[in-house]
A and B are shown apart, each in its own frame.
Chain A
Amino acid sequence: MTQPLRDATVAELFAAHSQALQLYARQWVGAVEADDVVQRVFVKMLASGRLPQDARTWLFRCVRNEAIGAWRSARRRGRREQAVAADASEWFEARPEILLDARAAQSALESLPDDQREVVMLRLWSGLTLAEVADVVGAAVSTVHARYQAALESLRKIMEVPCKNQE
C-alpha cells in the first residue's frame, strides 16, 4: 500500500540515505554517474507522487537497477574503462580519527567478488537487515547470509595481513 508523498518525507529519506545510496551505486559506476543515479531515483520518486511501501528498500532497489543500467550503457559505448580510470575519487571520507585507512578498505572491498561486495555494502553502510538485502538483490536470505559470511572472512584475511607485518 502506498501513501501520498510529502516533500518533508523525501527530504528525510534523502538526508538519511543519499550517501549510502551513492556508495552502493559506486560499485558499478563512477562518482559523477553515481550521483546522477541517486538523483534520478529521487526524481522518479517525486514524479510518482506516492511513497512506496518500504521506501528504503525501494530506493536501494531502484539505485541498483539504475546503476546497472548505466554501467551496461557505458560498457556498450566502450567508455567504462576511461570513465573509471578518470574517476579516482574515493568511496569513503578520509578521517584522521579513524585508524583504518579508507583507501585500503576500499581496495579490500574492490577485491571481493561482486555479489559479496554488494551484500557487505548494503549490510554495513545502508543498515539494511539481511532480509531487506535479499529483497534488494533478489536472492534468498540464506544465500545472502552465506555471501555476507564469505565476504567478511575474505575481508578479515585481506585486512589482517598489514597488521601481521607490523608485528
Chain B
Amino acid sequence: MQEPGMIDPRDRELVNVLQQLQPAPMRTSREQIWYRAGLEAGRRRVKVWRGVAAVMMLAAGAAMWARLGARGTAERPVLVRQEVPVVVGVESEEERASAAAYYRLRDTVAQDGLAGLPRVEGGNGGAAPSAPRGWPMEF
C-alpha cells in the first residue's frame, strides 16, 4: 500500500533528526523471555493435571455416593391389602322351611290372587277370641 501524501521537506529534516535517537535498551534479555515462557508452559501443564485430578476426584466421589445410596435402607409406606373373610349366614332347617313356605305363598298369590290363599276352616276373621279347646263342654 502506498503512503498517502508526501510530508513537508522541513518535516523530513525533523524526522531524520528524530530518527537518530535510539530507544533505551530493554532490561529484559531474550533468555529471560524464554525462561518465563517455559515457566508459563509448566504452569499450564500443572493446571491441566490439576483439572484432571479434580475431575477424577469428583467422579470417584459420585461413584462412592451412588454405591452407598444403593446399600442404604429406603423407608417408604407400603400398603398391604388385607383379605376380609366373607361371613356367610348358615340357615337352620326351620328357617329354610319357613322361607320356602313364604315363597310358595307369594308365588300362589301372584299367580291366582287372594283366591289362591288356602281356606281357613271355622275362622271368625280373627275378631273374636276363638273358643278354648274343648268348648262347649258337654256334660
Contacts from A to B (Cβ < 8 Å): 7, 11, 14-15, 18-20, 22-23, 31-32, 35-36, 38-39, 42-43, 46-47, 89-93, 95, 98-100, 102, 105, 124-125, 129-131, 141-142, 145, 148-149, 152-153, 155-156, 159
Contact = CB atoms under 8 A, between A and B. Distances in A.
Contacts of A100: 17-18, 20-21
Interface residues of B, number: 31
A82 B10 CA distance: 39
Which 3 A/B pairs are nearest by Cβ-Cβ distance?
Answer: A23-B23, A46-B37, A19-B23
21 contacts: A7-B34, A14-B30, A19-B23, A19-B24, A22-B23, A35-B28, A39-B36, A42-B33, A42-B37, A43-B36, A92-B21, A92-B22, A98-B20, A100-B17, A102-B21, A129-B3, A142-B4, A145-B4, A149-B7, A155-B18, A159-B14
A152 to B, nearest CB: 4
Contacts of B1: 129, 131, 141
Contacts of B3: 129-131, 145
A159 B33 CA distance: 38
B40 A155 contact: no
B111 interface: no
A35 B27 contact: yes
